[in-house]
Amino acid sequence: MTRIAVIGAGITGLTLAQELAPLAEVAVFEKSRGYGGRMATRQADPYQFDHGAQFFTAKSEAFAAFLQPFIERRCVARWDANFVEIDAGSIVSRRCWADGPAHYVATPCMNALAKQMSAGLDIRLASRVTRIVGSVADGWQLLDQQHTVLGHYDWVVVAIPARQAAELLPASSRLRAPIEQKDMLGCYSLMLGFRQELALDWQAAFVSGADISWVSNDSSKPGRPDYYSLLVHSTNLWAEKNIDADDEWVTTRLCAELARVIDRDISAAEHVALHRWRYANIGRQAGEGFLLDCDNRLAAAGDWCIHGRIESAYLSALRLAQRLQLEL
Ligand SMILES: Cc1cc2nc3c(=O)[nH]c(=O)nc-3n(C[C@H](O)[C@H](O)[C@H](O)COP(=O)(O)OP(=O)(O)OC[C@H]3O[C@@H](n4cnc5c(N)ncnc54)[C@H](O)[C@@H]3O)c2cc1C
């Protein structure tokens, strides 16, 4: 059987592995100790935060069909939040997501979907791939930081953010140049846990005219612990400007901006934490939705091939898997 290495166990890598496993010997390498990548959850007992992706929509038939069994098993559920848009500190619109297209979350936490998808797959956690060496004639070898060989493969598919993918692919690969053009932007996530609820009459907010772009009451999502939590995202622009700033400074700055935007005293927060995403999002991209170098048996997929969304990551992986099936 053809041996395929998939690098990254986010939704892209897991979808690729699921689609290709019936046709090839597939191993997934993931640098973290858990699955899901940017569909991330932080446990901070008694609080829990989805500090990466907040929710997802299903506009395509393919993604809706993929989600259906998870919805039936209650691993994915609608989040019918009261949603507001806040501009320059004032609420300028309101609607309830129950009245429109579904906004989904995984339950009981965002990375639960990835955990379910990983069942039955060969996934090597805590395995950071640092080099891909070899050639198509001799096969590809993956190496880790200690130069340990992680295995020999006929095909290697990178399913990691664009900048990291470009750095990892062999210098000879013609995939590197187009990937280097993909400009992913950073984001900060601020996580706040409170003993007492803040009196907000909404659960999710898009914010404009500020250095933060999103605020949600994370504990209002279905299946979450009762402990009241707020999740805040900085704007990509502000994160890019301050990406190497000191954590404490960033935290203080974002807390002040949150208090101003929602007009509440947040000093009672008993849990305050920050996460820096260097490669969080990307705007809409043109193209096939994946990159393939059949001569060298190398490929790349991810949200950054289409748009910085979970559905785009899934579709990129699905399209690449369908194309690769013709080569196996
Ligand atoms: C702050 C934030 C908010 C977002 N909000 C939303 C939202 O509300 N709705 C939405 O649809 N999308 C949102 N997104 C985007 C969404 O999270 C992504 O589109 C999607 O999760 C991308 O999945 P992926 O598998 O392509 O990449 P990732 O999830 O990034 O997965 C890549 C995996 O590869 C691993 N990895 C990287 N390098 C290596 C290596 N060298 N060796 C081994 N493993 C490696 C990483 O640890 C990671 O697990 C958000 C993202 C962020 C960061």
Residue 289 CB less than 6 A away from ligand 1: no
Q: Is the pLDDT of residue 240 over 90?
A: yes
Distances (CA, A) of 206 to 56, 187, 214, 222, 317: 15, 15, 5, 20, 29
Torsion of CA 314, 319, 325, 328, to 10 degrees: -90
Q: Which CATH number characterizes residue 303's domain?
A: 3.50.50.60
Residues 70 and 138 in one domain: no
Q: Please give the number of the atom of ligand 1 that sits closest to the Cα of 13.
A: 25
Q: How many CA atoms lie within 13 A of 186 on its CB side?
A: 15
Q: How far apart are CA 308 and CA 152, in angstroms?
A: 31
Beta bridge partners of 26: 4
Residue 290 CB less than 6 A away from ligand 1: no
Q: How many CA atoms lie within 13 A of 124 on its CB side?
A: 14
Distance 304 CA to ligand 1 centre (A): 10
Total number of domains constituting the chain: 2
Residues 69 and 214 in one domain: yes
Q: pLDDT digits over 108-159, tens only?
A: 999 999 999 999 999 999 999 999 999 888 899 999 999 999 999 999 999 9
Handedness of CA 97, 308, 11, 216 (dihedral sign): negative
| Mean per-residue pLDDT of the chain | 97
Nearest CA to ligand 1 atom 13: 53
Handedness of CA 290, 177, 276, 208 (dihedral sign): negative
Distance 281 CA to ligand 1 centre (A): 9
User: Which amino acid, residue 162?
Assistant: A
Residues 77 and 189 in one domain: yes
Closest CA to 294 of 132, 125, 154: 154
Q: pLDDT digits over 25-64, tens only?
A: 999 999 999 999 999 999 999 999 999 999 999 999 999 9
Considering the domain boundaries, does residue 64 fall inside one? Answer: yes
Distance 307 CA to ligand 1 centre (A): 12
Nearest CA to ligand 1 atom 12: 309
Considering the domain boundaries, does residue 309 fall inside one? Answer: yes
Residue 51 CB less than 6 A away from ligand 1: no
Which pLDDT does position 137 carry in this prediction?
85
Considering the domain boundaries, does residue 86 fall inside one? Answer: yes
Nearest CA to ligand 1 atom 50: 53
Which pLDDT does position 39 carry in this prediction?
98
Q: How far apart are CA 204 and CA 183, in angstroms?
A: 27
Residue 241 CB less than 6 A away from ligand 1: no
Residues 166 and 21 in one domain: yes
Which pLDDT does position 283 carry in this prediction?
94
Considering the domain boundaries, does residue 42 fall inside one? Answer: no
Q: Is the pLDDT of residue 294 over 90?
A: yes
Considering the domain boundaries, does residue 275 fall inside one? Answer: yes
Q: 169-201: b or e for each residue (b if 16 or more CB lie within 10 Å)?
A: bbeebebbeebeebebbbbbbbbbbbeeeeebe
Residue 234 CB less than 6 A away from ligand 1: no
| Paired tokens of 148 | 């340990």
Residues 144 and 242 in one domain: no
Considering the domain boundaries, does residue 44 fall inside one? Answer: no
Pocket test for ligand 1, best of 160, 236, 311 (most atoms within 8 A of CB): 160
Residues 126 and 275 in one domain: no
Domain that holds residue 228: 49-107+185-281
Residue 54 CB less than 6 A away from ligand 1: yes
Q: How far apart are CA 318 and CA 63, in angstroms?
A: 9
Residues 29 and 157 in one domain: yes
Q: Which CATH number characterizes residue 208's domain?
A: 3.90.660.10
Considering the domain boundaries, does residue 226 fall inside one? Answer: yes
